[in-house]
């Protein structure tokens, strides 16, 4: 899902008014409908968006809107009046986003109360003119990217309808991006003429949507019932329904049923990487680690440096208690994606299991640096430095990182 959404975002950005193409996507596994963008090119995306979007273009319209807020500097303009507080709030917000994406659970909920309540509900409440400007810019981006501009109004209408049936608490997105009938009408008027043509739908969207829904459902019975009903109703998205059912069975540990569903999908599409990935997930669940690793090796020889496959390889090695191997794979990933906090988070965990304690502290430091908790990062680097006193090379690396950290803190204080 990470790569799928990143590719959508990066492709969309090439058609936007964004001057700085550097972006960082953080996926928050949360059932609420929400997405946001903050200075520095960080785009937050809740998996709950999948539950509301009926097709890929509707989901992309949400990303286009957030890119528009970035390109028009709406957050920055609003924060300039309270610049001193903005740095503190930004660090808190980024820590909250990454904490929710990696650790999750009660820790993230507590952070939401203290940071997101202060920052997101206040500074991310864009003015009416900001929203109108973002609507126009987002719709223009959709048109240039050959996306259905009519999906903008359709997504707005879906959200407005949902808010009428959710009681007193509307979707999170509506708290910071209020939607009215007039706003929907304006979006429809702007897209008239261009939304009449047929737009090709990407089948991968429906597979990723199924994956997100299974991950968010409160229990596996809900997922099994949903996708079974879709299959019984002869849905036009049969592959996605069978894929969702396979994932639901996998989550419920009904592995024979999961394998049967995947076997049917692979018979019709034997080279579909999404299907192969999930079939290998079943191998891992069955503790067939050698089989899983052999299959991953074959796929990685064809799809070199594929991020999802490498992450799954690290998971298979981890479950097989081959911690040093998992460390090697995650270290490779950390070089490929040094700005990905999830990699550093997992790397710290596996290094601890492998007994590489100095490496654990270094990985934790990188994680804390990425979420702006510099005091914790310095503490971790200092612990690592004490453990490698006799290793000149490692001591030099850590000393340099401490100097880098001091420069980061200095830049942050001057903002």
- Specify whether 262 is located in the same domain as 386: no
Same domain, 186 and 214: no
pLDDT band at 5 (very low <50, low <70, confident <90, very high): very high
Residue 280 falls within a domain, yes or no? yes
pLDDT band, residue 111 (cuts 50/70/90): very low
* Confidence bin at 380 (pLDDT 50/70/90): very high
The two structure tokens encoding residue 337: 């994606």
Answer yes or no: do 168 and 271 share one domain.
no
Highest-confidence segment of 14-18, 98-102, 189-193: 14-18
Mean pLDDT over the full length of the chain: 84
**What local confidence, expressed as pLDDT, does residue 88 receive?**
40
Per the structure, the count of domains in the chain is 3
pLDDT tens per residue across span 187-199: 788 777 665 567 7
| Domain end residue (candidates: 268, 286, 304) | 286
Do both 258 and 147 map to the same domain? no
pLDDT score, position 96? 57
Residue 121, pLDDT > 50, answer no
Calculate ∠ Cα 35-39-41, nearest 5°.
70
Q: Which domain holds residue 394?
A: 356-415
Q: How far apart are CA 342 and CA 350, in angstroms?
A: 12
Ranges 44-53, 142-151, 177-186, 261-270, most confident: 261-270
Q: Look at residues 234, 308, 315, 306 and name the one whose alpha carbon lies nearest to residue 277.
A: 308
Give pLDDT tens digits for 46-93.
999 999 999 999 999 999 988 988 876 544 545 444 444 444 444 555
Say which CATH number the domain at 215 has: 1.25.40
The answer to whether residue 406 scores a pLDDT higher than 90 is: yes
Q: What are phi and psi for residue 337, nearest 5 degrees?
A: -135, 70
Q: Which of 85, 98, 77 is nearest to 26 (CA)?
A: 98
Same domain, 214 and 185: no
Q: What is the pLDDT of residue 126?
A: 55
Does 107 map to a domain? yes
Helical ranges in 177-306 per DSSP H:
181-191, 203-216, 220-232, 238-251, 255-268, 273-285, 289-302
Of 30-39, 69-78, 223-232, which gets the smallest average pLDDT?
69-78
pLDDT > 70? residue 341: yes
Q: Are residues 363 and 280 in the same domain?
A: no
pLDDT, tens digit, 9 for 90 and up, residues 123-146 = 445 566 677 788 888 889 999 999
pLDDT at 229: 97
Q: How far is CA 272 from the centre of its chain?
A: 22
Residue 131 lies in a domain: yes
Is 349 among the domain residues?
A: no
Domain boundary among 191, 224, 254: 191
Q: Which of 50-64, 148-162, 241-255, 370-384 has the lowest mean pLDDT?
A: 148-162
Average pLDDT over residues 155-162: 82
- Name the pLDDT band for 118 (thresholds 50, 70, 90): very low
Among 141, 162, 191, give the residue marking a domain's end: 191
Percent of the chain surpassing pLDDT 70: 80
Per-residue confidence band for 240, with pLDDT thresholds at 50, 70 and 90 = very high
Lowest mean pLDDT among 93-107, 112-126, 379-393: 112-126
**What residues have CB less than 8 Å from 291, skipping those under 6 apart?**
283
Please, which pLDDT band fits residue 201 given cuts at 50, 70 and 90?
confident
Residue 294 lies in a domain: no
pLDDT of 114 reads 41
Is residue 81 in some structural domain?
yes
Predicted confidence at residue 73, as pLDDT, reads 59
- Alpha-carbon distance of 256 to 282, in angstroms, equals 9
Number of helices followed by number of strands (H, E) in the chain = 23, 3
Residues 152 and 229 reside in one and the same domain: no
Measured CA distances, 237 to 1, 177, 178 (Å) = 18, 31, 32
- Is the domain of 14 the same as that of 68? yes
Q: Are residues 169 and 230 in the same domain?
A: no
Looking at the structure, tell me whether residues 180 and 50 fall in a common domain.
yes
Q: Does 226 map to a domain?
A: yes
User: Which pLDDT band, with edges at 50, 70 and 90, does 353 fall under?
Assistant: very high
Q: Does residue 117 sit in the same domain as residue 81? A: yes
- Distances, alpha carbon 339 to alpha carbons 81, 252, 336, in Å: 29, 33, 9
Q: How confident is residue 299, by pLDDT bands cut at 50, 70 and 90?
A: very high
Rounded to an integer, the average pLDDT of 255-266 is 98
Same domain, 69 and 18: yes
Q: Which residue has the tokens 């040094």?
A: 338
Binned at pLDDT 50, 70 and 90, residue 371 comes out as confident
């Amino acid at each position: 899902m990470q790569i799928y959404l990143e590719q959508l975002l990066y492709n969309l950005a090439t058609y936007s008014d964004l001057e700085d193409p550097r972006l960082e996507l953080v996926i928050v596994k949360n059932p609420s409908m929400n997405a946001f963008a903050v200075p520095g090119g960080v785009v937050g995306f809740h998996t709950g968006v999948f539950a509301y979007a009926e097709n890929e273009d509707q989901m992309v319209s949400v990303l286009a809107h957030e890119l528009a807020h970035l390109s028009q500097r709406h957050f920055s303009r609003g924060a300039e009046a309270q610049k001193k507080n903005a740095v503190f709030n930004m660090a808190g917000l980024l820590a909250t986003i990454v904490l929710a994406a990696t650790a999750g659970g009660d820790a993230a909920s507590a952070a939401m109360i203290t940071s997101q309540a202060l920052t997101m509900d206040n500074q991310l409440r864009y003015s009416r003119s900001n929203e109108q400007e973002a609507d126009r810019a987002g719709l223009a981006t959709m048109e240039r990217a050959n996306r259905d501009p009519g999906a903008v109004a359709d997504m707005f209408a879906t959200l407005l309808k949902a808010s009428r049936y959710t009681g007193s608490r509307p979707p999170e997105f509506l708290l910071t991006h209020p939607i009215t009938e007039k706003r929907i009408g304006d979006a429809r008027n702007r897209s008239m003429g261009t939304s009449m043509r047929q737009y090709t739908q990407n089948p991968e969207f429906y597979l990723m949507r199924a994956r997100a829904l299974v991950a968010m459902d409160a229990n596996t019975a809900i997922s099994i019932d949903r996708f079974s009903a879709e299959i019984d109703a002869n849905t036009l998205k049969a592959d996605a329904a069978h894929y969702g059912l396979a994932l639901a069975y996998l989550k419920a540990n009904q592995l024979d049923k999961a394998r049967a569903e995947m076997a049917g999908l692979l018979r019709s599409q034997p080279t579909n990487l999404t299907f192969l990935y999930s079939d290998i997930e079943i191998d891992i669940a069955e503790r067939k680690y050698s089989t899983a690793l052999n299959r991953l090796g074959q796929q990685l020889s064809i799809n070199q440096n594929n991020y999802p496959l490498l992450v799954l390889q690290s998971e298979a090695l981890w479950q097989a208690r081959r911690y040093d191997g998992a460390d090697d794979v995650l270290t490779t990933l950390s070089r490929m994606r040094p700005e990905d906090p999830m990699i550093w988070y997992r790397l710290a965990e596996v290094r601890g299991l492998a007994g590489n304690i100095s490496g654990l502290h270094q990985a934790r430091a990188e994680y804390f640096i990425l979420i702006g908790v510099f005091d914790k990062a310095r503490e971790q680097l200092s612990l690592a430095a004490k453990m490698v006193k006799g290793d000149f090379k490692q001591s030099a690396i850590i000393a340099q990182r401490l100097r880098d950290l001091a420069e980061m803190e200095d830049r942050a204080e001057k903002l």
